[in-house]
Structure 1
Amino acid sequence: MIHFLAFSPDGKTLISAAADGSLRTWDSTTGKQKTVNYTETPTVALRPDGKILATHNSYDQITLWDVATLKQIAVFGHHDSIISIAYSQDGQRIVSGGADNIVNLWDVSSKPSLIASFTGHTDEIRSVTFCQDNNHFVSASADGTARFWDASSNQPIAIFKEHTKAINQVSCSPDGKIIATAGEDSVIKLWEIDQSQPAKYQLINTLTGHKAGITTIVFSPDGTKLVSGSDDKQIKVWDISTGKELASWTGSVGAIAALTFSQNGKVLASGGSYDDPSIKLWDFTSVNTNPGKVTTEPQPFVEMAGHHEAVVAVTQSSDNKTFAVATRQKITIRNLNAPEKIVTTLQNTSSEYLLDLSYSPDGKVLASAGTSQTIHLWDPASGKLLATLQGHHQIINALAFSFDSKMLASAGFDRTVKIWDVASGKELKTLQIAENSYALKIAFSPDGKTLATTHNNNSIQVWDVQTGQLKTILKDLTNIPYAVAFSPDGKLLANDVSLTGISLWDTQNYKMVGVLSNTTSLSEGLIFTSDSKLLFSFGLDNTIKLWDVNNRKNIFSTSEEDTGGITSAALSKDGKTLISGHVDGSIKFWEVITS
């Protein structure tokens, strides 16, 4: 899925970001890829001068990148998962909004700092944009409203309430006079703003024609037209002055996920969703905008393929015969001896995007979860859905089975961790996370009595599973901890702290007893061997590292180029094979030789 598209000011380069975790730059004339970096970039904004990119990752960090080299310039934090970010016209400020329902305004003129936070939305913020100048901006929310803000006040100047469902996108016309909002109700609303008195506004038109939720909208550079993309696969062009539909064509085999114009307005770029994560360039000057004239559908003059459907999770059965792979919208169970052979495809009937997948240690149950806020339990042998567990109220981002397969833990953006009885599907306990954080990863101790959770507020929390009480908090870490794992002998807890190293904790007193410091990026996962003597780490730097736990040494590291970061890995029960899943959609098999 293409999350973001933007042309450089000279129109020669197109920048894209997608669900495969990659940032790419392209030659907009030839369609050839120029640079690529794997960063986990669901949210992106381009500074108006085209020199700096701002991205957000799943660790609640905003990163600034040099566009020419795709090298990091600065990293700064956030309170919760960001969904949308935008630059001010002078490039000195960034506005962000996300799952915490809060709009944040940042000064990025030098060292990034938070200017102010704006509250009022009652659901996640899906889109933000500056409008008119560097002090006014608009936020659109799943609560069905959009709010127009002045940076000098904590109260909205105006609240737009006419949508009947979530608003997915907001855009401001180049002259700042028109605000367009589009959402799940399949309509676009145009609001006229009195620039001398912004509190005075009126709804001037409602644009109808799409047959499904609208995912993206963009004004033409001259402000006379609006282009929209939708889950109905259509790209539509609208006349701003009349509200009439001027043109419509099929832009993808799936939903349209992103749209952008070149600055001269001659080229329109579109990006597809998971069904077709390609980028297409359209000659907008040749698009017929005369509704009375019948013509054939426009054809793209350049198509760019390079973004892939990333592997979200890989997990292996206990009998060493099968392994399961999850991409954003599909789960397949494959034969370990013939990996290209799909044994079963699990029918994900919901529209969710998958975020985690886990085999029970006994191999009898496969659990999946994601944006649908529910957990699905599957019979991996038959592919049948065994149960659907409901209880979370936001995205579920992590799953973990207890070693005896009797319990399942789940972590969500609703700031809860839930413990479930696998056999009955009943919720056993809810662990309430503090308001300023949520759990990133979770792990059971081998005896099932303790659960460890890592958090975006630079802490690790250790819980008593039976009582649901917090046993201890490992805090004041230098950065955000992510991956976490107990050693099979129960003596150590390992976790990776962003750009610092892998910390080892004694589970008797939870004192740090060692650090594996030879790390270059944050690990997506940690896996102990069955004898607890060795530890695998892997991450978006596309390397797998093998560590000698007792001697605190890195004894082996893989080195592969241009295959994309590693999102997930699984170790066979006999410890002889490691399977890795990558953001470029590839799956790799590694022979483990420890002698």
Structure 2
Amino acid sequence: MRCFCLLYVLVLCGGIVATAWLPANAQPISVRKSDGKTLIQAAAIDSSRNILVMAQMGKMQLSSWHFFDSKKPTAVYQWQTPDAVECVVFATAKNGERVFLSGDSRGVVRLWDIHARDQVDSFRAHRQQVLGLVFSQSANILVSLGIDDGKTKLRFWDLQTKKQTIPVRDAFGVSVALSPNGKLMALTLPGGKLELVEFPACKSVWTRSSGKAAWLSNVNFAPNGRTVITAESSWGKTTNICFWDVNSGSVTKKIAAYPIFDLGRRLVGGICCLSYSPTGLLVASAGKDDRVCFWEAATGQKITSVPGHQGPVNAILFHGDDDKCFSISHAGDVFFTDFAGIKKHVRPTANRKPGTDLQPFWQDLHSSEALRGVVAVEFFLQHSKLALPFLKSRLLVRKQKKGEWFSKNVNDLANANFGVRQKAAVEIEKQLYAAEPFLRQRLTNGTDLETRRRIENLLKKIPKLDGLRPADLRPLRVISILERIDAAESRELLAWMAKNLETEQLRSAAKRALGK
């Protein structure tokens, strides 16, 4: 099945959100239960008007739902269409009216007015089926991906005139996305390649390969336009989420998201849909199993995995902000996950007005619990006037607790006096991630058996993270905070971090946040 990942639309293949470790009173809510007959092919959401549109698989029917609140949907209308609908997307007409468009199995694009409950217009976009649609509001251009004479083509349309504005372009992949500012377009190509193109000029900026991947899919831009994510799949291997730097075209990190198994020519696993949250702090993915996974974008760490769906998950649609997420299954279930309710259980102080002490949230930036880290990042962003001077005081402070300080405390672990040993262990544990290289160096240099045991017990408390040192968590989250605060002081701090952070990986992350 084809997967077409867009900025505003996801073409689907699978299941619905339930729960993992989430608090009992923060369970995802079943908004619409499957009737066992309604299979969903595509879905799109208009957050400004709380409208969700779904297209039935293999049937000529569209249905719209109005959410007066997230838990009580109201069916608005159903449309019968001449041909089976393949994809849907919302767009803004030149008169400012919001319409939604559908692409069908015979290559026709139709414009629908939800309020008038009628088809407004239609035109033939492709000779055969339309695989996907994406709309650029800044350029007022509709991009259609479809099949013409057995070949996949990209076409570009003016919705007002229904005429093509740019020459037809070959599209070898099945995934395309436009950047938030409408100036760039990302395309997947055969052989695990990704191409970045200037839009609407369609001039190639760069083409890069992720390595030995068999194919890339589900391309999506970050809300700030600086990063592109794709699903990277190889037969019989893990499906990764790849993060691409828009400026350089390099892969900055990979998340091993889903295993793939070959069961008698049947591919099990992989990613069906992939989406950034509106703030870019979260990435949501869904596979061909029954799970939706939420990831922290800055660190690549998993926040939670939400199982229990009836088959593959076809769409993940964030509604308004990061705290509301709808997921739609191939079977037709719609679930709503309220992250605001989940976050309330992370740290009580996060729900009160801030005082002068931001230290608890500074500590949470160091947490190996991804959700705790996200809550801390959001808190600093909500109170940026307090955050900037606080972060500056922490970042630019002299490195007093390095070198001699750590060496002294590590040496004190071997002291004959129990009180001295105990105090050293407590002090080291407060700065455990930063102390790790000094502890390992002491083991390398040799020590007595009792001291070795104490050091090994301390090292066991350091969590093992996928592709990341625990000491990198706080710097990456601070970078995530600073790049979202539009102020000269935040840019100055990022410039300082780009020169002074410990590793090249961290320095590069700071440079990317500066747009370099």
TM-score in terms of structure 1 length: 0.45
Distance in 2 separating the partners of 1:387 and 1:364: 14
Question: Gaps (5+ residues) in structure 2?
Answer: 4-33, 260-268, 344-374, 376-516
1:479 to 205, 214, 235: 214
Q: CA deviation at 1:440?
A: 1.1
Distance in 1 separating the partners of 2:37 and 2:78: 19
Aligned to 2:264: none
1:416 equivalent to 2:150? Answer no
1:342 to 75, 87, 96: 75
Contact 1:371 1:396 in 2 (8 A): yes
1:441 equivalent to 2:175? Answer yes
1:565 equivalent to 2:312? Answer yes
Distance in 2 separating the partners of 1:542 and 1:319: 29
1:554 equivalent to 2:291? Answer no
Structure 2 CA distance for partners of 1:505 and 1:425, relative to 1, 3 Å:
same
3-state SS, counterpart of residue 365 of structure 1: strand
Contact 1:452 1:463 in 2 (8 A): yes
Q: CA deviation at 1:457?
A: 4.7
User: Runs (4+) of structure 1 moved beyond 4 Å?
Assistant: none
1:513 to 252, 257, 269: 252
Aligned to 1:375: 109
Distance in 1 separating the partners of 2:167 and 2:317: 28
Distance in 2 separating the partners of 1:416 and 1:457: 18
Distance in 2 separating the partners of 1:553 and 1:358: 30
Higher relative contact order (CA 8 A, sep 6+): 2
Contact 1:484 1:496 in 2 (8 A): yes
User: Identical aligned pairs, as a percentage?
Assistant: 18
Q: CA deviation at 1:421?
A: 2.1
Contact 2:258 2:287 in 1 (8 A): no
Deviations 1:201-241 (CA, angstroms, capped at 9, x unpaired): xxxxxxxxxxxxxxxxxxxxxxxxxxxxxxxxxxxxxxxxx
Query: How many residues matched?
Result: 288
Aligned to 2:44: 315
Distance in 1 separating the partners of 2:229 and 2:217: 10
Q: CA deviation at 1:528?
A: 1.4
Deviations 1:236-261 (CA, angstroms, capped at 9, x unpaired): xxxxxxxxxxxxxxxxxxxxxxxxxx
1:502 to 241, 251, 254: 241
Q: Which has the higher strand share?
A: 1
Amino acid at match of 2:80: Q
Deviations 1:26-51 (CA, angstroms, capped at 9, x unpaired): xxxxxxxxxxxxxxxxxxxxxxxxxx
Distance in 1 separating the partners of 2:138 and 2:272: 24
3-state SS, counterpart of residue 116 of structure 2: coil
Distance in 2 separating the partners of 1:306 and 1:451: 38
Distance in 2 separating the partners of 1:363 and 1:452: 27
Q: CA deviation at 1:456?
A: 5.0
Contact 1:501 1:517 in 2 (8 A): yes
1:577 equivalent to 2:324? Answer yes
Amino acid at match of 2:228: L
Contact 2:239 2:271 in 1 (8 A): no
Q: CA deviation at 1:427?
A: 1.6
3-state SS, counterpart of residue 98 of structure 2: coil
Contact 1:486 1:492 in 2 (8 A): yes
Distance in 1 separating the partners of 2:307 and 2:215: 25
* Alignment root-mean-square deviation, CA: 2.5
1:406 to 137, 140, 163: 140
Deviations 1:389-441 (CA, angstroms, capped at 9, x unpaired): 3231221111112254822211113321112223333321244226xx3x312
Aligned to 1:587: 334
3-state SS, counterpart of residue 575 of structure 1: coil
TM-score in terms of structure 2 length: 0.52
